[in-house]
Amino acid sequence: MEALREGRPVALFPYGDRVLLWVEHPGGQKGALGLTEAFLLGERRRFPSLAAEFPALDWFERALWERGFEPVGHPGLKPLRRHDLPYTFREFPLLHEVPVGPVHAGIIEPGHFRFSVLGERIVNLEIRLGYQHRGLLSLMPGKGAEAALLLVERAGSEPVAHAMAFAEAWERALGWEAPSRAQYLRRAALELERAFGHLGHLAGLFTDIGYAYGATQVGRIRALLQGELDRLTGHRYGRNFLRVGGVWREGQPDLEAIAAYREELARLLPRLLKNPQVLDRMRYVGEVRRAKALALGFVGPTARASGVGRDLRQDDPLYPDFTPVVRQGGDVLSRAQVYAEESLKALDYVLFFLRHLPAGPLALDPPLGEGEALARVEAGRGEVVWFVRVEAGRVVMAEGVDPSFKNWRALELAVRGEGLPDFPLCNKSFDLSYAGSDL
């Protein structure tokens, strides 16, 4: 409880009939911002709910409830991913209701948004997901490393980060580490994935405010960077690249070209973000305050744009002098600024890792054996978590958390009091993964 007050929950998942909670807090076991794990009190699938005091646990407990656990004293249980259970939206008797989705107007994933509006002002937004639920976690037990990675790479829309967290958890479970050349290549792919994703968020934001020049130019460089990710990993999104024990291949991206794209972006992005049209539409819109970001346990750029300076890469010794990009505004513009600055830094790291590749093998076969471990990776959208228990080269149990799962409620907060037409802009400023949340 003390740990939760000072820190933030990382994951909460079933472990047999018990419930295992992971908390990141200043007094944690490992380093200044370590993790502590603890079983919640209770027996036979019943445990005392903490969601009323720690709203960051709300969705975690609802997900557990759907899986047959009982959070005793939860303030308002509703299904999250299961659509066979009854669901009721919160009612606002005198307000007009605007239902949107699951099928949206653009080319995006499905989800349902229920707006309660007074005129054009949004008084409340309730997000209902689960449309993308594919039962991914239930397919994991019994899988070997390769088959498990196929699923993990399809958990959310950031395959490299998911695969990296899963592979590290597996390797850590066996008390083993991948060779250092693979470590560098994994991080190069991760940073390229981050730059590609962030530029996608920016291009989308410019599209949503009708700034065609910005959208086209950022989209152009993004497409070129995707080509480099393709060259490095052999896949346009970086799938089939990581393996437990290292990486499968080492492609030849054009480092000169990446450096040139970075220089062009460094000139272009600050100019685009100072455009009066951009400032007018993005500043002071969709604000998420720091206190709420902390209380609800938001992660990644969403948290950092609201003044929470946490980035898992701080703890990674392979990153030379890493400092997180932080903005205080909490609005759409702050998030855009974080994306812009982080994408430039990400490309710097791509070049750093690929120019300093240590000699050695791309992969080694980890020993067979048994063990369990949790690993986290800072993906473009925030921390990806995988916990795995392995025995004799097979998954016994695995649990994953996509950063979007922790961040969806930031969108509910951001649009409160905003005009309905600003919703797409606010939504794009988080650009969360539906599939990652629904698993």
Partner 1 sequence: MSLMHTLKVGRLARKLEEILKVPQHAFGYPLLKPAGLTPRVREGLIHLCPSGAFAEVEGIFSLDLARCVGCGRCALAYPEAVGEMRSLEVAVTRKEDLVQRVDLERGGFLDPGPPPSPRTELRLPILAFREVSAGDTGLADSEIALLGNPFNDMGRFGFQVVASPRHADALLVTGPVSRNMAEALRRTYEAMPEPKGVVAVGNEAISGGVFAGSPQVMAGVDRVVPVDVYVPGDPPRPGAILHGLMLLVGRMTQRLVGGVLR
Rounded Cα–Cα distance for residues 32 and 263 (Å): 35
Residue 356 contacts partner 1 per CB under 8 A: no
Of the residues 107, 276, 320, 421, which one makes contact with partner 1 according to CB under 8 A: 107
Of the residues 42, 102, 371, 393, which one makes contact with partner 1 according to CB under 8 A: 102
Residue 398: what residue type? A
The distance from CA 435 to its chain's CA centroid, rounded to whole angstroms, is 11
Closest separation in Å from C-beta 127 to partner 1: 14
DSSP assignment string, 263-331: HHHHHHHHHHHT-HHHHHHHTTSS---HHHHHHTT--HHHHHTTT----GGGG-TTSTT------S--S
Closest separation in Å from C-beta 262 to partner 1: 17
Residue 434 contacts partner 1 per CB under 8 A: yes
Residue 216 contacts partner 1 per CB under 8 A: yes
Of the residues 38, 150, 255, 295, which one makes contact with partner 1 according to CB under 8 A: 150
Closest separation in Å from C-beta 251 to partner 1: 7
Residue 234 contacts partner 1 per CB under 8 A: yes
Rounded Cα–Cα distance for residues 342 and 431 (Å): 15
Of the residues 132, 183, 306, 427, which one makes contact with partner 1 according to CB under 8 A: 132
Residue 127 contacts partner 1 per CB under 8 A: no
Q: Which is nearer to partner 1, 251 or 371 (CB)?
A: 251
Of the residues 33, 77, 108, 373, which one makes contact with partner 1 according to CB under 8 A: 108
Rounded Cα–Cα distance for residues 410 and 92 (Å): 21
Which range in 43-51, 58-66, 146-154, 416-424 contacts partner 1 by CB under 8 A?
A: 146-154
3-state secondary structure (DSSP) of residue 167: helix
Site string for partner 1, 58-97 (x = CB under 8 A): -----------------------x-x--------------
Pair type for strands 242-243 and 121-128: unpaired
Q: CA 165, 167, 168 angle in degrees (round to 5)?
A: 65
**What are the contacts of 147-155 at 24+ separation with CB within 8 A?**
148/388, 148/395, 148/398, 149/242, 149/243, 149/244, 152/386, 152/400, 153/239, 153/240, 154/435, 155/400, 155/402, 155/435, 155/436, 155/439
List Cβ neighbours of 204 (8 Å cut-off, separation of 6 or more): 215, 428, 431
Residue 364 contacts partner 1 per CB under 8 A: no
Residue 235 contacts partner 1 per CB under 8 A: yes
Query: Counting every residue, how long is the chain?
Result: 439
Residue 285: what residue type? V
Q: Which is nearer to partner 1, 42 or 251 (CB)?
A: 251
Rounded Cα–Cα distance for residues 134 and 154 (Å): 10
Query: From residue 34, how far is each of 84, 183, 320 by CA, in Å?
Result: 39, 22, 20
Phi-psi region of 19 (alpha: psi -120 to 50; beta: other; left: phi over 0): beta
Residue 100 contacts partner 1 per CB under 8 A: no
- Please count the residues of this chain forming the interface with partner 1, following the rule CB under 8 A: 54
Q: Which is nearer to partner 1, 313 or 381 (CB)?
A: 381
Task: Considering only residues 365 through 424, tell me which ones interact with partner 1, judged by CB under 8 A.
Answer: none
Q: Which is nearer to partner 1, 178 or 244 (CB)?
A: 244
Of the residues 240, 314, 315, 394, which one makes contact with partner 1 according to CB under 8 A: 240
Binding site for partner 1 (CB under 8 A): 81, 83, 102-103, 105-110, 130-136, 138-139, 146-147, 149-151, 154-157, 159, 200, 213, 216-217, 219-220, 223, 227, 230-231, 234-237, 239-240, 248, 251-252, 268, 271, 433-435, 438
